[in-house]
Amino acid sequence: MTQVSEFIPTFVLTPADLVPAPYRVKSLSEAVTHEPQGVYTVARTFHGDHALLFDAHLDRLEQSARLMNISFHLDRVRLRAALRDLLHAAGYPDAKFRITVPQDQPDHIYLGLEPYQPVPAVIMQQGASVITTPLVRQNPIVKTTAWMTIRQPALKTLPAGTYEAILVSEDGRLLEGLSSNFYGVLDGVLYTAGDSVLEGITRRAVLGLAPDILPVRLSALSITAVPRLTEAMITSSGRGVVPVTRINGNPVGDGRVGPIITAVVQGYAAWTEAHSEPI
């Protein structure tokens, strides 16, 4: 059936059943303040009920739980079935969804989904504007709900026209976005941080296809290198590959989406078509 409610589907997969969550919200962002503390993963669907590297998302969810000393058994078959049922009931053409494992009650898995909103065409054509921020994610290899709460004020106060903020370490290295991975092209090489960042699932795909386009180096760029970048981009599971053409108000290269990032965008689009699988 078609989803007509102003509220998004939010449910809890308990050991006994799939039950409505104890709150009603209009977006996944709004749900952040209601979900229990724990670990999570976020992804989007393709063709209604397909996803990319879904098992990799679940692998990372389990890894995050282990690193947070959360003991639980993830029944992947049951989780997939519950998520498919919710997707089909919602009737969204495509959805963005979040899976959250609570710290205190890990056998009660929270599932939420909202209509997928693609990156605006104007940003894909003209590139995004980003800023830098000294905010740093603690223990970045673990995807915790605490980080969602910490970053909320920064997301809500981004200057008008700013698409994302890039975290800068104390020693001036460009690490990752508030909800993305960051890459810059310098002297014909694609640079992205190799450590101290979340190992994004889309990042994994991009690092697999990018070497066919240009050399890749897993090393965080210094903020002092920004004026010399010729191209830049960010990636995330919800957005895919997004060109970046302005950093802190200054143009990247000539301020237009360049041929290298265009090739990565096209390569990723082809890769998603070839690798999306039923949930």
Instruction: Look over the chain and give the mean of its residue pLDDT values, rounded to a whole number.
Output: 94
Q: Which residues contact 88 (CB under 8 A, 6 or more apart)?
A: 48, 49
For residue 4, pLDDT beyond 80: no
* Angle (nearest 5°) at CA 145 between 183 and 117: 60
| Residue 149 or residue 122, greater confidence | 122
Tell me the per-residue pLDDT of 155-179, one tens digit each, with 9 for 90 and over: 888 899 999 999 999 999 999 999 9
Tell me the per-residue pLDDT of 68-124, one tens digit each, with 9 for 90 and over: 999 999 999 999 999 999 999 999 999 999 999 999 999 999 999 999 999 999 999
**47-62 average pLDDT score:** 96
Q: Which amino acid is at 146?
A: A
1 falls in which pLDDT band (50, 70, 90)? very low
CA distances from 251 to 7, 131, 163, 165 (A): 39, 12, 14, 15
CA distances from 48 to 18, 58, 92, 96, 247 (A): 20, 19, 7, 10, 34
The answer to whether the CB of 179 falls within 8 A of the CB of 198 is no
Residue 126, token pair as written in the block: 């003209």
What's the predicted TM-score (pTM) here? 0.91
| Residue 105 or residue 198, greater confidence | 105
**205-229 average pLDDT score:** 97
| Residue 81 or residue 144, greater confidence | 81
pLDDT score, position 186:
98
Domains defined for the chain, CATH in brackets: 10-115 (3.30.470.10), 121-277 (3.20.10.10)
* C-alpha–C-alpha distance, residues 128 and 130, integer Å: 6
Question: DSSP labels for 221-278?
Answer: PBGGGGGG-SEEEEEETTTEEEEEEEETTEESTTSS--HHHHHHHHHHHHHHHHH-EE
The answer to whether the CB of 110 falls within 8 A of the CB of 10 is yes
> What are the φ/ψ torsions at residue 94 (nearest 5 degrees)?
-150, 155
For 3: left if phi > 0, alpha if psi spans -120 to 50, otherwise beta; the answer is beta
151 falls in which pLDDT band (50, 70, 90)? confident
For residue 18, pLDDT beyond 70: yes
